Structures are given as C-alpha cells and as structure tokens.
Amino acid sequence: MYAEVSPFARRVRLGAAIRQLRGTSTTTAVARAAGIDRTVVSKIEAGERRAGLDTILKVLDVLPIGESSRQYRTLQRVARDGLARGWWDDPQYAGMGERQVRTADLECGATIREYQSSMLPGLLQTEAYARHRGEVALGKGAAFDLEAAGRGRLRRQRQVLDRDASDPVYHVVLEPQAIWRCPVPRGIMREQLRHLHKLATTATHLSIRILPVDAPLGQGWVPRAPFSVYDYGDPDDLTLVVVDTVTTDLLITEPAEAADYAQTFDELRENALSAKDSAELIQQAADAASVDA
C-alpha cells in the first residue's frame, strides 16, 4: 500500500523534532551516544531518506524523551511514515524526473495553495501542453523521460483532483498572463484553455482564481516567483513551501517564513476575481485563441 501522506513532509517533521529535542547538544554528541556516524544524524535532521528505522530509533533513544511517552510513540509513527513508499516509486514512473518526484511526494495528502505568474500549473495541464513544455525543457538539457513524466503528471492529477474530500483541496491563483500568453502553439493553448475552463466550472476539489492587474493589494507586495504551499491534515506536520525558480525548486521549511508565504497567498486570493468571473475570463481567452488560430 502506498503512502497516504507525504513521506518527505514526515521526514522534515521528524528532523525538526529531533533538533528541538537535542537542544544545545551537538549532532556529534547525539551520534556518539547513539553509536552512529555524525553525518547520519545530520541527514535525518535534514529529512534525507538515507537512514533505516532502526537507526532513527537509536537516535530517539538517546534524546530526552521517555520510550513510554506519547511523544516517543508519535515520533516512531512519523519515522515509519517517512520511510513509506509512494506511487512515484513504482517502476513505471522511473525517469519522470527528480523535480516531479519531489512534487508528487509533497502533494501526497496535502491541501495545496499555488500561485503562478505566467505558466499554468502542472496539475491543470493537458497532455499536449505538458508534452510541448517537456520537449522544450529537454531541448535545454533537462534530464527525464518524457513518457514517464507524462504518466507521472497524469497520476498526480488523479491523486489530487479525484481525491475523496468534501471541500477544495487545491487552490490556484493565476496572473492574467498565464491564460493570455502562449508558451505553446496556439492550437495547443486553445485546447488547454478549454480544459482549464471545464475544470474551473466542474471540478469540485479545485478553486481557480485570476488576479487582475488592478487588484488592490493591501501590503503592496507581489511575489517575484511562483510558489506552492502544502498543508497536511495532522496539525503537528509543518507547512512546507516550494518556490519555483528557472532551474530548481527552493524548499522552505522554517515555520515563520512558510507562514509569510501562506499569508501572501491568502491575500492574493482574497483580492482575485471570483470563481465565476475567473471562469468567464478563461472562456474569453479561449475564445480569443480560437479566433486567432
């Protein structure tokens, strides 16, 4: 059975808990007491998937926490969750690309808030739109298998948009240029916009809002790069943020900084067009693409 919540998010939570519990003790002191190498402790705290459960338990055993305590049992469970396999570990998705693998992991069991300034999010892309963008990336030297990436993207879309939930689990705020600009051939963009409009008007677990150019932003601050905020059902899990850059993803785990991004997203969404008006604007863009084709 595959993981139901992001293993990476659980490893990050475990690492944060270990750092807090060791307090002023160094990783060297903890490693010496546990009988393991210092670099192993550092990697566990960083959320890397290198250590097995037995090794993690050795670390927990030397921390100031009783083995019979509720916190100890909780961290044992978190450690096991962090080592769980995800659907992206299946051989049919091998080669989908490290960047997409990390994204799929973060999306697992998460409520997602995503801001995009000029591109359409992968979870909303048609096969043709995603393929064209993939071909462009490969032409620029990216390393992944295009077919595996396509299968992975489709699986991600099903996992998020078909989730059994009563409320939206995916909230998107788009700048207008994301629907008016054509980073793909116009025919592909026309199909993409029609698909986006259908999602905006029929998908029950999805909210799409367009942020108008003249939106009155209270703090007057607009993010310089796209970003995604991931929240999980367990209140003790950390809110994680990924900032999308040209070549890589910047992961933010520090709670105060992540909270700033979450607040920024909520302010952008509050000042965006309504769901109905956003859908109408998407339809206008689709109609324009049809006329110009």
Question: In the chain, what are the domains?
Answer: 7-82 (1.10.260.40), 96-292 (3.30.870)
Per the prediction, the chain carries an average pLDDT of 93
The pLDDT of residue 153 is above 70: yes
The pLDDT of residue 100 is above 90: yes
Residue 168: its pLDDT value, please?
Answer: 79
The whole-angstrom separation of Cα 145 and Cα 131 is 11
CA distances from 203 to 90, 282, 285 (A): 27, 15, 19
The pairing of strands 206-210 and 170-174 is parallel
Residue 272: its pLDDT value, please?
Answer: 95
Per-position DSSP letters for 191-252, written without gaps between them: HHHHHHHHHHHH-TTEEEEE--TT---TT----SS-EEEEEESSTTSPPEEEEE-SSSEEEE
Amino acid (one-letter) located at 227 = F
Average pLDDT score over residue span 169-184: 95
pLDDT for 22-32, tens place per residue? Answer: 998 999 999 99
Of the listed ranges 56-60, 112-116, 247-251, the least confidently predicted one is 247-251
Amino acid (one-letter) located at 88 = W
For residues 160 and 170, is the Cβ–Cβ distance under 8 A?
A: yes
Tokens matching residue 176: 């207008």
Average pLDDT score over residue span 209-237: 88
> Nearest to residue 266, comparing CAs of 225, 234, 206, 219?
219
Residue 291: its pLDDT value, please?
Answer: 64
Tokens matching residue 58: 């050795």
The pLDDT of residue 5 is above 90: yes
SS3 of residue 244 by DSSP: strand
Residue 49: its pLDDT value, please?
Answer: 77
Residue in the block written with tokens 């769980």: 84
User: What does DSSP assign to residue 209?
Assistant: E
Query: Could you tell me the sign of the dihedral formed by the alpha carbons of 198, 244, 253, 26, in that order?
Result: positive
Query: 110 CB contacts (<8 Å, ≥6 apart)?
Result: 5, 6, 9, 169, 230, 231, 232
Residue 139: its pLDDT value, please?
Answer: 93
The pLDDT of residue 225 is above 70: yes
Residue 292: its pLDDT value, please?
Answer: 55
Residue 289: its pLDDT value, please?
Answer: 87
User: What does DSSP assign to residue 155?
Assistant: H
Residue 252: its pLDDT value, please?
Answer: 96
